[in-house]
Amino acid sequence: MEDQRIVKIGCASGFWGDTNTAAFQLVHLSDIDYLVFDYLSEITMSIMAKAMMTDPNHGYALDFVSRVMTPLLKKISDKKIKVISNAGGVNPLACRDALQKVIEAQGLDLKIAVVLGDDLLSQQAELQKQNIKEMFSGEDFPAHLASCNAYLGAIPIRDALDQGADIVITGRVVDSAVVLAPLLHEYQWAIDDYDKLAQGSLAGHIIECGAQCTGGNFTDWRLVKGFDNMGFPIVEVKADASFIVTKPNATGGLVTTATVAEQIVYEIGDPQTYLLPDVTADFSQVKLEQIAEDRVLVTGAKGRVPTQQYKVSATYPDGYRVLVSFLIAGREAPEKGQVIADAILTKCERVLALRSVPPFSEKSVEILGIESTYGAHAIHTQSREVVVKIAVKHPLKEACMFFASEIAQASTGMAPALAGIVGGRPKASPVIKLFSFLVDKSKLNVEIDINGQRQKVVIPQGLADQSLDLHTTGEVAQFTGQEIEVPLIEIAHARSGDKGNHSNIGVIARKAEYLPWIRANLTEQNVANYMQHVLNPETSQVHRYEIAGFNALNFLLENALGGGGIASLRIDPQGKALAQQLLDMPVKIPASLKPS
């Protein structure tokens, strides 16, 4: 007899620093079976690694234990909700120990399992000898790493649940694994039932960023009510792997096919080859159906065998950076700001040269308030108040501190109306760069730890060759010269995200009939030309992919973020605003298709 159950999974965190109120909301206002948290990014891993160097009991998301779980444990226990979180960071055993103390202090009986094996930092000397190159840039392996973690999959979490764990704490796992794992456990899906694994991974991908699928960051943001009480996402998954995306009743936000579509395109490259440790997923034929208010049915993900390798994200120190912002007011504010910025940088580099110190390795000046992030597409280029943001990098911390000390003089000795340094005098901080590479799954010793007892996890080896040319292009409209021009936002939604130094912009047609015209207007070359202000002229390329299932295109912009993450000096190092810029691009459509 077919399994009629529905497994309900709520996600209470999209990143380290997300609201601590989300877990309370999901525990008290819904009937979820599982509560999952995603805390980790590459930057977070390096911050946690640094914290652990200072204190061996740190290196995990401290607030997961103190602010989130401690007040909720009794209710979680009463409602028999199971918890899965990658809050363990680089020190999952310390996270377990801290949580265990709280459980015992509250007199509860909850079994914690820890997933181990992702942390490769102790192997860096061995890795150093293997002539490993960075998988995107080709750079040599760094001399000193701050963190080094493989992205594990769902199988060890599933094994922990199979062993009766109530709470599973992991280090680095792919974000979607915390959702796929309970589905593998509950429904006992075969590990080679790849279509189900792809659907389960898609459920995880949709809710992994918290409220980003329930109206957060949505193009049509005016339709979203209740930003002060955003509903966090829940997936209701059946045994056949179809699922509904929703949120708790009486909360803010919005769950529509459009909000869900925007999250599906977030931070992906080729939607037909979304590489995960447990499955190579194909999201290109996914169908979205609005079945009720704030309820969207998702079907159609396909899967095939995964690769033989894990992706590893290492971080390493690469000098220092300092960033300062200050307000300039009055007439000709942009020009005054530029003159002041140039003068400060020129003076600093002249003094450094006199001291036989090399110049800054990287400099960035952005005048905010005149649409400088839009490049040549800026419309409003004059303002009587602007914020000047200057950032520099240097191998020596002292050079950055000297720059920081020279800002204040501009308030009395340069152009008028420098009205205040934002946040006070700046401080130098380490630059942490990302180094990504691949490692064979067979080289890792993945284990689960329950009450100090270690159990090895068996991981299927996968397939080396993933080269399938699946790509096709749908209908492309033909221009006749009779078209009218409208901004892209009139016929499409869009969402942008980041992976290291690459950005992606997913563009979703508001109606199926707009898609051929979006294809005709948004060629790879046209998008590259329009977004050239963020692209590296030597190394950047733009790739376009099709997501026919919900009338979307995905654009991958290589090397578009100035280094990405904490290595970038830009005001938008993660490309969060790039979709908004592309939505202003003029596109040509027939007058008959103009939205009313």
Chain segment 430-443, per-residue pLDDT in tens: 888 899 999 999 99
pLDDT of 421 above 90: no
Residues 104 and 251 in one domain: yes
Q: Across residues 4-27, what is the average pLDDT?
A: 95
Domain edge (last residue) among 391, 413, 433: 433
250-259, 549-558, 568-577: least confident range = 568-577
- Tell me if 463 is assigned to some domain: no
Q: Residue 416: its pLDDT value, please?
A: 93
Three-state DSSP at 492 gives: strand
- Look-up of token digits 């497994």: 7
**Is residue 305 located within the same domain as residue 156?**
yes
pLDDT at position 466: 61
| Residue at 298 is within a domain | yes
The total of other beta-carbon atoms located within 10 Å of residue 162's CB is: 14
Average pLDDT, the chain: 95
Asked if residue 399 and residue 494 are part of one domain, the reply reads no
pLDDT digits (tens, 9 = 90+) for 97-152: 999 999 999 999 999 999 999 999 999 999 999 999 999 889 999 999 989 999 99
Residue 263: per-residue pLDDT: 98
Question: pLDDT tens, 523-544?
Answer: 999 999 999 999 999 999 999 9
**Residues 301 and 424 occupy one common structural domain:** no
pLDDT, residue 469, reads 66
Does 488 lie in the same domain as 362?
A: no
Distance between CA atoms of residues 222 and 291, nearest Å:
22
- Do 233 and 121 sit in the same domain of this protein? yes
**CA-CA distance, 587 to 491, in Å (whole number)?**
9
- The answer to whether residues 291 and 318 belong to one domain is no
Percent of the chain exceeding pLDDT 90 equals 89
- Looking at the structure, do residues 28 and 130 belong to the same domain, yes or no? yes
Boundary residue ending a domain (433, 450, 472): 433
| Position 30 in a domain | yes
| Confidence check: pLDDT of 424 > 90 | no
Which residues lie below 8 Å from residue 155, measured CB to CB, with a gap of 6+? 181, 184, 191, 278, 446, 457, 458, 459, 460
Q: What's the whole-number mean pLDDT along residues 296-320?
A: 95
Higher pLDDT pick, 395 / 424: 395
pLDDT higher than 70, residue 331 = yes
State the Cα–Cα distance between residues 161 and 155, nearest whole angstrom. 10
> Is the per-residue pLDDT at 464 higher than 80?
no
Domain count, the chain: 3
The CATH number of whichever domain residue 394 belongs to comes to 3.30.70.100
User: Is 470 a residue whose pLDDT tops 90?
Assistant: no
- Out of 433, 448, 470, pick the residue that ends a domain: 433
The predicted pLDDT at position 388 comes to 96
CB 550, CB 287: distance < 8 Å: yes
Same domain for 404 and 281: no
Say if 478 falls within a structural domain. Answer: no
| Parent domain of 534 | 484-593
What is the spatial distance between Cα 550 and Cα 54, in angstroms, rounded to a whole number?
A: 48
Mean pLDDT across 199-205: 98
Give me the sheet containing 112-116, strands edge to edge: 287-292, 295-299, 243-246, 234-238, 6-11, 34-37, 82-85, 167-169, 112-116, 447-450, 453-456
Residue 446 within a domain? no
- In this structure, is residue 414 part of a structural domain? yes
pLDDT 10s digits, 73-102:
999 999 999 999 999 999 999 999 999 999
> Is residue 1 in a domain?
no
- Given a cut of 80, whether residue 165 has pLDDT beyond it is yes
Residues 179 and 238 in one domain: yes
Domain identity same for 513 and 549? yes
pLDDT for 485: 97
Residue 452 domain flag: no
- Residues 41 and 167 both lie in one domain: yes
